[in-house]
Protein backbone atom coordinates (compact mmCIF):
# COMPACT_ATOMS: atom_id res chain seq x y z
CA UNK A 1 0.00 0.00 0.00
CA UNK A 2 0.92 3.65 -0.38
CA UNK A 3 0.06 6.48 2.00
CA UNK A 4 -0.92 8.77 -0.88
CA UNK A 5 -3.58 6.30 -2.06
CA UNK A 6 -5.11 6.17 1.43
CA UNK A 7 -5.09 9.98 1.68
CA UNK A 8 -6.69 10.38 -1.74
CA UNK A 9 -9.42 7.85 -0.93
CA UNK A 10 -10.47 9.71 2.22
CA UNK A 11 -10.04 13.10 0.56
CA UNK A 12 -12.50 12.04 -2.13
CA UNK A 13 -15.06 10.80 0.42
CA UNK A 14 -14.49 7.04 0.21
CA UNK A 15 -14.73 4.79 3.26
CA UNK A 16 -11.31 3.33 4.04
CA UNK A 17 -11.03 -0.44 4.13
CA UNK A 18 -10.00 -2.31 7.26
CA UNK A 19 -6.71 -3.24 5.57
CA UNK A 20 -5.98 0.38 4.66
CA UNK A 21 -6.61 1.63 8.18
CA UNK A 22 -4.58 -1.07 9.90
CA UNK A 23 -1.68 -0.59 7.48
CA UNK A 24 -1.67 3.18 7.89
CA UNK A 25 -1.78 3.15 11.72
CA UNK A 26 0.90 0.46 11.92
CA UNK A 27 3.16 2.17 9.39
CA UNK A 28 2.83 5.58 11.01
CA UNK A 29 3.56 4.16 14.47
CA UNK A 30 6.72 2.52 13.12
CA UNK A 31 7.79 5.73 11.37
CA UNK A 32 7.34 4.41 7.82
CA UNK A 33 4.67 7.04 7.07
CA UNK A 34 5.79 10.67 7.35
CA UNK A 35 4.18 13.25 9.62
CA UNK A 36 3.06 15.33 6.67
CA UNK A 37 1.24 12.35 5.19
CA UNK A 38 -0.45 11.54 8.48
CA UNK A 39 -1.40 15.23 8.79
CA UNK A 40 -3.02 15.12 5.37
CA UNK A 41 -5.08 12.07 6.30
CA UNK A 42 -6.15 13.64 9.58
CA UNK A 43 -7.32 16.77 7.78
CA UNK A 44 -9.24 14.64 5.29
CA UNK A 45 -10.95 12.88 8.21
CA UNK A 46 -11.83 16.27 9.75
CA UNK A 47 -13.56 17.23 6.50
CA UNK A 48 -15.01 13.88 5.44
CA UNK A 49 -15.68 12.16 8.76
CA UNK A 50 -15.64 8.40 9.35
CA UNK A 51 -18.26 5.67 9.19
CA UNK A 52 -18.97 3.61 12.31
CA UNK A 53 -17.03 0.73 10.75
CA UNK A 54 -14.02 2.90 9.95
CA UNK A 55 -14.04 4.36 13.43
CA UNK A 56 -14.18 0.94 15.11
CA UNK A 57 -11.24 -0.31 13.04
CA UNK A 58 -9.26 2.92 13.51
CA UNK A 59 -9.69 2.69 17.29
CA UNK A 60 -8.83 -1.00 17.46
CA UNK A 61 -5.70 -0.43 15.36
CA UNK A 62 -4.55 2.20 17.85
CA UNK A 63 -5.29 -0.14 20.76
CA UNK A 64 -3.22 -2.95 19.24
CA UNK A 65 -0.34 -0.61 18.31
CA UNK A 66 1.04 -1.18 21.81
CA UNK A 67 0.64 -3.05 25.04
CA UNK A 68 -2.69 -3.79 26.72
CA UNK A 69 -3.03 -4.15 30.49
CA UNK A 70 -3.61 -7.64 31.87
CA UNK A 71 -5.99 -7.26 34.80
CA UNK A 72 -6.71 -10.99 35.19
CA UNK A 73 -4.96 -11.07 38.58
CA UNK A 74 -7.48 -8.61 40.01
CA UNK A 75 -10.41 -10.35 41.67
CA UNK A 76 -12.69 -7.31 41.92
CA UNK A 77 -14.83 -6.04 39.02
CA UNK A 78 -12.73 -3.56 37.02
CA UNK A 79 -14.06 -0.22 35.82
CA UNK A 80 -12.80 3.24 34.94
CA UNK A 81 -14.08 6.76 34.33
CA UNK A 82 -12.96 9.33 31.78
CA UNK A 83 -13.83 13.03 31.74
CA UNK A 84 -13.58 15.22 28.67
CA UNK A 85 -12.22 17.95 30.94
CA UNK A 86 -13.48 21.03 32.69
CA UNK A 87 -12.66 23.77 35.17
CA UNK A 88 -12.33 22.63 38.76
CA UNK A 89 -12.97 19.03 37.69
CA UNK A 90 -11.25 17.13 40.50
CA UNK A 91 -13.80 14.29 40.41
CA UNK A 92 -11.18 11.63 39.56
CA UNK A 93 -9.30 12.28 42.79
CA UNK A 94 -12.43 11.52 44.81
CA UNK A 95 -13.99 8.91 42.57
CA UNK A 96 -11.17 6.37 42.29
CA UNK A 97 -10.82 5.76 46.05
CA UNK A 98 -14.60 6.06 46.46
CA UNK A 99 -15.44 3.20 44.08
CA UNK A 100 -12.52 1.18 45.46
CA UNK A 101 -14.16 1.53 48.89
CA UNK A 102 -17.34 0.17 47.31
CA UNK A 103 -15.61 -3.00 46.08
CA UNK A 104 -14.53 -2.03 42.56
CA UNK A 105 -11.03 -1.86 41.09
CA UNK A 106 -10.14 1.26 39.12
CA UNK A 107 -6.88 1.49 37.13
CA UNK A 108 -7.34 5.18 36.30
CA UNK A 109 -4.82 6.17 33.64
CA UNK A 110 -4.93 9.94 33.35
CA UNK A 111 -3.28 12.89 31.65
CA UNK A 112 -1.95 16.38 32.19
CA UNK A 113 -3.66 19.70 31.64
CA UNK A 114 -3.22 21.96 28.65
CA UNK A 115 -4.95 25.30 28.35
CA UNK A 116 -7.84 26.26 30.62
CA UNK A 117 -8.64 22.71 31.80
CA UNK A 118 -6.54 21.15 34.55
CA UNK A 119 -4.85 17.76 34.44
CA UNK A 120 -5.34 15.06 37.07
CA UNK A 121 -1.64 14.14 37.13
CA UNK A 122 -0.60 17.77 37.70
CA UNK A 123 -2.94 17.91 40.67
CA UNK A 124 -1.57 14.73 42.21
CA UNK A 125 2.00 15.97 41.89
CA UNK A 126 1.16 18.73 44.37
CA UNK A 127 1.39 15.93 46.98
CA UNK A 128 4.87 15.45 48.45
CA UNK A 129 6.59 12.43 46.90
CA UNK A 130 3.64 11.39 44.74
CA UNK A 131 4.72 9.31 41.72
CA UNK A 132 2.41 9.29 38.70
CA UNK A 133 4.77 7.92 36.04
CA UNK A 134 4.58 4.29 37.09
CA UNK A 135 5.61 1.09 35.40
CA UNK A 136 2.37 -0.51 34.24
CA UNK A 137 3.09 -3.73 36.14
CA UNK A 138 3.47 -1.67 39.32
CA UNK A 139 0.20 0.10 38.52
CA UNK A 140 -1.63 -3.23 38.24
CA UNK A 141 -0.07 -4.38 41.54
CA UNK A 142 -1.31 -1.25 43.31
CA UNK A 143 -4.82 -1.74 41.93
CA UNK A 144 -4.73 -5.36 43.14
CA UNK A 145 -3.54 -4.35 46.62
CA UNK A 146 -5.39 -1.07 47.15
CA UNK A 147 -8.30 -1.09 44.70
CA UNK A 148 -7.25 1.95 42.66
CA UNK A 149 -4.35 3.82 41.11
CA UNK A 150 -4.14 7.13 39.26
CA UNK A 151 -1.13 7.37 36.96
CA UNK A 152 0.03 8.19 33.44
CA UNK A 153 -0.55 5.90 30.49
CA UNK A 154 3.18 5.68 29.80
CA UNK A 155 4.73 5.13 26.38
CA UNK A 156 3.51 1.55 25.93
CA UNK A 157 -0.26 1.98 25.82
CA UNK A 158 -1.70 3.04 22.44
CA UNK A 159 1.54 4.60 21.10
CA UNK A 160 -0.22 5.34 17.80
CA UNK A 161 -2.56 7.68 19.65
CA UNK A 162 0.36 9.37 21.39
CA UNK A 163 1.91 10.23 18.01
CA UNK A 164 -1.35 11.21 16.35
CA UNK A 165 -2.47 13.34 19.30
CA UNK A 166 0.73 15.37 19.21
CA UNK A 167 0.30 15.82 15.45
CA UNK A 168 -3.33 16.91 15.77
CA UNK A 169 -2.37 19.54 18.32
CA UNK A 170 -0.13 21.36 15.84
CA UNK A 171 -2.06 20.82 12.59
CA UNK A 172 -5.52 22.19 13.43
CA UNK A 173 -7.10 18.73 13.43
CA UNK A 174 -8.23 18.48 17.05
CA UNK A 175 -11.88 19.42 16.42
CA UNK A 176 -13.15 16.17 14.95
CA UNK A 177 -15.53 13.94 16.89
CA UNK A 178 -14.24 10.70 15.31
CA UNK A 179 -10.63 11.64 16.11
CA UNK A 180 -11.51 12.81 19.64
CA UNK A 181 -13.52 9.67 20.33
CA UNK A 182 -10.95 7.24 18.98
CA UNK A 183 -8.18 8.97 20.93
CA UNK A 184 -10.08 8.66 24.22
CA UNK A 185 -11.30 5.13 23.66
CA UNK A 186 -8.05 3.65 22.37
CA UNK A 187 -6.36 4.38 25.69
CA UNK A 188 -9.34 3.30 27.78
CA UNK A 189 -9.84 0.03 25.88
CA UNK A 190 -6.12 -0.72 26.24
CA UNK A 191 -6.57 -0.49 30.03
CA UNK A 192 -8.48 -3.76 29.86
CA UNK A 193 -11.32 -2.91 32.27
CA UNK A 194 -14.71 -4.58 32.12
CA UNK A 195 -16.63 -1.31 32.08
CA UNK A 196 -16.18 2.40 31.41
CA UNK A 197 -18.22 5.47 32.36
CA UNK A 198 -17.66 8.70 30.44
CA UNK A 199 -18.22 12.15 31.89
CA UNK A 200 -18.85 14.39 28.89
CA UNK A 201 -18.80 18.03 29.99
CA UNK A 202 -21.17 20.60 28.47
CA UNK A 203 -20.92 24.38 28.83
CA UNK A 204 -18.58 27.35 28.59
CA UNK A 205 -15.78 25.62 30.50
CA UNK A 206 -15.98 22.40 28.47
CA UNK A 207 -14.21 21.40 25.30
CA UNK A 208 -17.62 21.14 23.63
CA UNK A 209 -19.92 23.93 24.91
CA UNK A 210 -22.81 22.89 22.65
CA UNK A 211 -25.22 20.24 24.00
CA UNK A 212 -25.87 18.64 20.61
CA UNK A 213 -22.14 18.26 19.91
CA UNK A 214 -21.51 16.87 23.37
CA UNK A 215 -24.35 14.38 22.92
CA UNK A 216 -22.92 13.31 19.54
CA UNK A 217 -19.51 12.76 21.14
CA UNK A 218 -21.03 10.78 24.02
CA UNK A 219 -23.01 8.56 21.63
CA UNK A 220 -19.89 8.01 19.50
CA UNK A 221 -17.82 7.06 22.55
CA UNK A 222 -20.44 4.64 23.82
CA UNK A 223 -20.77 3.11 20.33
CA UNK A 224 -17.03 2.45 20.11
CA UNK A 225 -16.99 0.87 23.55
CA UNK A 226 -19.86 -1.43 22.78
CA UNK A 227 -18.28 -2.43 19.45
CA UNK A 228 -15.19 -3.49 21.40
CA UNK A 229 -17.20 -5.48 23.93
CA UNK A 230 -16.65 -2.91 26.69
CA UNK A 231 -19.68 -2.06 28.85
CA UNK A 232 -19.90 1.69 28.33
CA UNK A 233 -22.17 4.54 29.32
CA UNK A 234 -21.90 8.31 29.41
CA UNK A 235 -23.23 11.14 31.53
CA UNK A 236 -23.56 14.65 30.13
CA UNK A 237 -22.72 17.01 33.01
CA UNK A 238 -22.89 20.78 33.32
CA UNK A 239 -19.70 22.85 33.02
CA UNK A 240 -20.86 26.47 32.80
CA UNK A 241 -19.58 27.16 36.31
CA UNK A 242 -16.38 25.80 37.91
CA UNK A 243 -17.03 22.49 39.63
CA UNK A 244 -16.66 22.81 43.38
CA UNK A 245 -15.00 25.82 44.97
CA UNK A 246 -11.42 25.60 43.68
CA UNK A 247 -9.48 25.59 40.43
CA UNK A 248 -5.76 24.88 40.57
CA UNK A 249 -3.60 21.87 41.36
CA UNK A 250 -2.91 21.93 45.09
CA UNK A 251 -6.16 23.75 45.84
CA UNK A 252 -8.12 20.95 44.17
CA UNK A 253 -6.24 18.25 46.08
CA UNK A 254 -7.14 19.95 49.36
CA UNK A 255 -10.78 20.23 48.30
CA UNK A 256 -10.83 16.58 47.22
CA UNK A 257 -9.56 15.41 50.61
CA UNK A 258 -12.19 17.59 52.28
CA UNK A 259 -14.80 15.91 50.06
CA UNK A 260 -13.57 12.47 51.10
CA UNK A 261 -14.00 13.62 54.69
CA UNK A 262 -17.64 14.43 53.97
CA UNK A 263 -17.28 18.17 53.40
CA UNK A 264 -17.55 18.38 49.61
CA UNK A 265 -19.61 21.08 47.85
CA UNK A 266 -23.02 19.96 46.64
CA UNK A 267 -22.31 20.29 42.91
CA UNK A 268 -19.06 18.35 43.13
CA UNK A 269 -20.60 15.56 45.18
CA UNK A 270 -23.67 15.32 42.93
CA UNK A 271 -21.48 14.58 39.91
CA UNK A 272 -19.16 12.27 41.86
CA UNK A 273 -21.95 10.20 43.39
CA UNK A 274 -23.80 9.86 40.07
CA UNK A 275 -20.65 8.65 38.32
CA UNK A 276 -19.93 6.21 41.16
CA UNK A 277 -23.47 4.83 40.99
CA UNK A 278 -23.15 4.43 37.22
CA UNK A 279 -19.87 2.53 37.64
CA UNK A 280 -21.46 0.23 40.22
CA UNK A 281 -24.50 -0.30 37.99
CA UNK A 282 -22.47 -1.17 34.89
CA UNK A 283 -20.54 -3.83 36.80
CA UNK A 284 -23.57 -5.16 38.65
CA UNK A 285 -21.95 -4.37 41.98
CA UNK A 286 -23.68 -3.37 45.17
CA UNK A 287 -22.34 -0.63 47.39
CA UNK A 288 -23.36 2.77 48.67
CA UNK A 289 -20.98 5.61 47.74
CA UNK A 290 -22.57 7.99 50.25
CA UNK A 291 -21.97 5.51 53.05
CA UNK A 292 -18.38 4.96 51.89
CA UNK A 293 -17.78 8.68 52.49
CA UNK A 294 -19.64 8.77 55.78
CA UNK A 295 -17.86 5.76 57.32
CA UNK A 296 -14.40 6.90 56.24
CA UNK A 297 -13.71 3.94 53.92
CA UNK A 298 -13.15 6.15 50.86
CA UNK A 299 -10.69 8.36 52.76
CA UNK A 300 -8.78 5.26 53.88
CA UNK A 301 -8.51 4.13 50.25
CA UNK A 302 -7.19 7.59 49.31
CA UNK A 303 -4.44 7.41 51.93
CA UNK A 304 -3.55 3.87 50.86
CA UNK A 305 -3.37 4.83 47.16
CA UNK A 306 -1.23 7.91 47.78
CA UNK A 307 1.17 5.99 50.03
CA UNK A 308 1.40 3.13 47.51
CA UNK A 309 2.45 5.69 44.87
CA UNK A 310 5.20 7.09 47.08
CA UNK A 311 3.28 10.10 48.35
CA UNK A 312 2.86 11.49 51.83
CA UNK A 313 -0.90 11.77 52.12
CA UNK A 314 -0.72 13.81 55.31
CA UNK A 315 1.97 16.30 54.25
CA UNK A 316 0.80 19.91 53.83
CA UNK A 317 -0.08 21.01 50.30
CA UNK A 318 1.91 24.02 49.01
CA UNK A 319 0.19 27.38 49.54
CA UNK A 320 0.63 30.44 47.33
CA UNK A 321 2.53 33.39 48.85
CA UNK A 322 0.60 35.96 46.79
CA UNK A 323 -3.18 36.40 46.98
CA UNK A 324 -5.71 38.92 45.73
CA UNK A 325 -9.51 39.02 45.75
CA UNK A 326 -12.03 40.10 43.14
CA UNK A 327 -15.12 41.71 44.69
CA UNK A 328 -18.77 42.00 43.72
CA UNK A 329 -19.57 45.31 42.05
CA UNK A 330 -23.11 45.42 43.41
CA UNK A 331 -25.34 43.69 45.94
CA UNK A 332 -27.60 40.84 44.84
CA UNK A 333 -27.32 37.21 43.84
CA UNK A 334 -24.55 35.68 41.77
CA UNK A 335 -26.36 34.56 38.63
CA UNK A 336 -23.40 33.43 36.54
CA UNK A 337 -19.72 32.66 37.06
CA UNK A 338 -18.08 31.82 33.75
CA UNK A 339 -16.12 28.58 33.98
CA UNK A 340 -13.85 29.26 31.01
CA UNK A 341 -12.86 32.68 32.37
CA UNK A 342 -11.98 31.19 35.77
CA UNK A 343 -10.01 28.39 34.11
CA UNK A 344 -8.16 30.90 31.95
CA UNK A 345 -7.35 33.01 35.03
CA UNK A 346 -6.00 29.96 36.89
CA UNK A 347 -3.86 29.13 33.86
CA UNK A 348 -2.47 32.68 33.76
CA UNK A 349 -1.71 32.52 37.48
CA UNK A 350 0.57 29.54 36.84
CA UNK A 351 -1.72 26.54 37.36
CA UNK A 352 -1.50 25.55 33.67
CA UNK A 353 1.15 25.26 30.99
CA UNK A 354 1.55 26.99 27.67
CA UNK A 355 3.48 24.05 26.24
CA UNK A 356 3.43 20.40 27.30
CA UNK A 357 7.02 20.53 28.56
CA UNK A 358 6.40 23.49 30.88
CA UNK A 359 6.16 23.07 34.67
CA UNK A 360 3.02 24.10 36.54
CA UNK A 361 2.63 25.70 39.95
CA UNK A 362 1.29 23.48 42.71
CA UNK A 363 -0.17 26.42 44.61
CA UNK A 364 -1.59 28.72 41.92
CA UNK A 365 -5.30 28.90 41.16
CA UNK A 366 -8.65 30.45 41.99
CA UNK A 367 -10.95 29.93 44.97
CA UNK A 368 -14.65 30.63 44.40
CA UNK A 369 -15.84 32.36 47.56
CA UNK A 370 -19.32 32.72 46.05
CA UNK A 371 -21.07 30.81 43.26
CA UNK A 372 -24.35 31.13 41.36
CA UNK A 373 -27.24 31.26 43.80
CA UNK A 374 -25.19 32.84 46.59
CA UNK A 375 -26.22 36.27 47.87
CA UNK A 376 -23.43 38.88 48.04
CA UNK A 377 -23.00 42.46 49.18
CA UNK A 378 -21.39 45.25 47.17
CA UNK A 379 -17.63 44.92 47.67
CA UNK A 380 -17.78 41.38 49.04
CA UNK A 381 -14.99 39.12 47.73
CA UNK A 382 -16.27 36.61 45.17
CA UNK A 383 -13.00 35.14 43.89
CA UNK A 384 -9.61 34.73 45.55
CA UNK A 385 -6.59 34.50 43.24
CA UNK A 386 -3.49 32.54 44.30
CA UNK A 387 -0.09 32.73 42.60
CA UNK A 388 3.64 32.53 43.23
CA UNK A 389 4.35 35.59 41.07
CA UNK A 390 2.69 38.93 41.86
CA UNK A 391 3.13 39.96 38.22
CA UNK A 392 0.61 37.33 37.08
CA UNK A 393 -2.36 39.08 38.71
CA UNK A 394 -2.85 41.67 35.97
CA UNK A 395 -3.32 39.16 33.16
CA UNK A 396 -5.47 36.91 35.33
CA UNK A 397 -7.80 39.79 36.16
CA UNK A 398 -8.08 40.60 32.44
CA UNK A 399 -9.33 37.05 31.85
CA UNK A 400 -12.01 37.56 34.52
CA UNK A 401 -13.49 40.73 33.01
CA UNK A 402 -17.25 40.15 32.80
CA UNK A 403 -17.01 36.65 34.32
CA UNK A 404 -19.21 37.46 37.32
CA UNK A 405 -22.85 38.41 36.82
CA UNK A 406 -25.04 39.61 39.69
CA UNK A 407 -28.81 40.04 39.56
CA UNK A 408 -31.71 40.90 41.83
CA UNK A 409 -33.00 37.30 41.92
CA UNK A 410 -31.17 34.00 42.29
CA UNK A 411 -30.93 31.81 39.17
CA UNK A 412 -33.11 28.75 38.75
CA UNK A 413 -31.36 25.65 40.13
CA UNK A 414 -29.96 23.44 37.38
CA UNK A 415 -29.16 19.74 37.71
CA UNK A 416 -25.52 18.80 37.23
CA UNK A 417 -26.32 15.63 35.30
CA UNK A 418 -28.12 16.60 32.12
CA UNK A 419 -28.46 13.27 30.31
CA UNK A 420 -27.46 9.62 30.60
CA UNK A 421 -26.51 7.70 27.44
CA UNK A 422 -26.24 3.94 27.09
CA UNK A 423 -26.26 1.78 24.01
Residues 208, 235, 120, CA angle at the centre, nearest 5°? 70
> Which position among 187, 188, 353, 386 bears the catalytic label?
187
Other CB atoms within a 10 A radius of the CB of residue 316 amount to 9
Instruction: Pick the catalytic residue from 89, 106, 161, 267.
Output: 161
Question: What is the DSSP secondary-structure string of 394-422?
Answer: HHHHHHTTT-EEEESSPPPP--SEEEEEE
Identified catalytic residue from 76, 168, 215, 348? 168
Eight-class DSSP state of 263: I
386 included as an active-site residue: no
Q: Point out the catalytic residue in the list 82, 123, 162, 163.
A: 82
Q: How crowded is residue 86: how many other Cβ atoms within 10 Å of its Cβ?
A: 31
Tell me, yes or no, if 187 is annotated catalytic: yes
204 is catalytic: no
82 assigned to active site: yes
Q: Which of 39, 83, 152, 183 is catalytic?
A: 183
Helix, strand, coil % over all residues of the chain, rounded to 5: 45, 15, 35
H/E stretch holding 386: strand 381-387
- Is 30 considered catalytic here? no
Whole-angstrom Cα distance, residue 149 to residue 140?
A: 8
DSSP character string of 74-131: --S-BEEEEE---TT--HHHHHHHHHHHTT-BEEEEE---BTTB--HHHHHTTSTT--
Active site residues: 82, 161, 168, 183, 187
Amino acid sequence: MHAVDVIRAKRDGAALSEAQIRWFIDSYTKGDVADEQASALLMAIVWRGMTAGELATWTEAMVTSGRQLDLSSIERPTVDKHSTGGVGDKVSLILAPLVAACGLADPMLSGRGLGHTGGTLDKLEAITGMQVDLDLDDAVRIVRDVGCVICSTGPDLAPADRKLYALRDVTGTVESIPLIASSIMSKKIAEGTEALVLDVKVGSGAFLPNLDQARELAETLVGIGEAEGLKTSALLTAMDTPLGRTTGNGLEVTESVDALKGNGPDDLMEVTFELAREMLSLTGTGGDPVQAIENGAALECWHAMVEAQGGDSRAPIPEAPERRTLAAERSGFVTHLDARAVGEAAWRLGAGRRRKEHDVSASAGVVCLAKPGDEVEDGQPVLELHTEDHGFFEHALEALAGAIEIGAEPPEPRPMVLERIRS
